[in-house]
Structure 1
Amino acid sequence: MLVLPAELTHAQAGACLGMLVQALRRDPDALVVADASATTVFDSSALAVLLGCRREALALGKGFVVRGLHERLASLAQLYGVGELLPAQS
């Protein structure tokens, strides 16, 4: 499971994505779960981080889902037309 930080803005995005991708590559599970439930301070860079994790997961042949996506961030994803790329964990 990938755990996103409480704050994920442009200032943290690059370092955060790098750490999450490293963790994702070490994870033997076939399904990557990105836990965004603690992320309450964010901008559109949070979407870029999630999409980067998704891209890496798919490149490794893994599935990708998001848990606890904040309602405002989910709305932003829909506005940008990428909501369907960040499926919620069922």
Structure 2
Amino acid sequence: MLKLPASVRVDAAPALWAGLQSSLRAEAAQIVNGAGAELNVDAGELQQFDSVVLTLLLSAARLCKELGVQLRVLNVPAKLQELARVYGVAELLWPESPEAGQGT
């Protein structure tokens, strides 16, 4: 399972995306080879962030779809859920239900 860092800010986004993209590709290949369909990302450590985290998550979801897996973000902080709702992208990140990001 991949994990988001404790801090995701706009100044670190390009480097974070480069690393995340590489990790997503590697993880997706293992999942597909194992006949899986879901790639989990743990957001439980995320404490400091701005709206760029939504861009990263949406980009990750898009990449996962291209790679044949579905992104599932687990342990989503309430503040991030609210930010996604305010920006109107919560349904894109958590299509199952508002509580979907609460996973274990």
- Provide the aligned C-alpha RMSD in A: 1.2
Equivalent residue, structure 2, for 1:81 = 88
Equivalent residue, structure 2, for 1:49 = 56
In the alignment, residue 89 of structure 2 is paired with which amino acid? V
Map 1:1-90 to 2 at 5 A.
1-27=1-27, 28-29=30-31, 30-87=37-94, 88=100, 90=103
| DSSP 3-state at the match of 2:60 | helix
Tell me the distance in 2 between the aligned counterparts of 1:34 and 1:49.
12
Report deviation, 1:15. 1.0
Structure 2: runs of 5+ lacking an equivalent: 32-36, 95-99
Report deviation, 1:41. 0.3
Structure whose alpha-carbon radius of gyration is higher: 2
| DSSP 3-state at the match of 1:23 | helix
Return the TM-score normalized by structure 1. 0.92
Q: Which has the higher helix share?
A: 2
How many residue pairs get aligned? The number is 90
Report deviation, 1:66. 0.5
Return the TM-score normalized by structure 2. 0.80
TM superposition outliers: structure 1 runs of 4+ over 6 Å: none
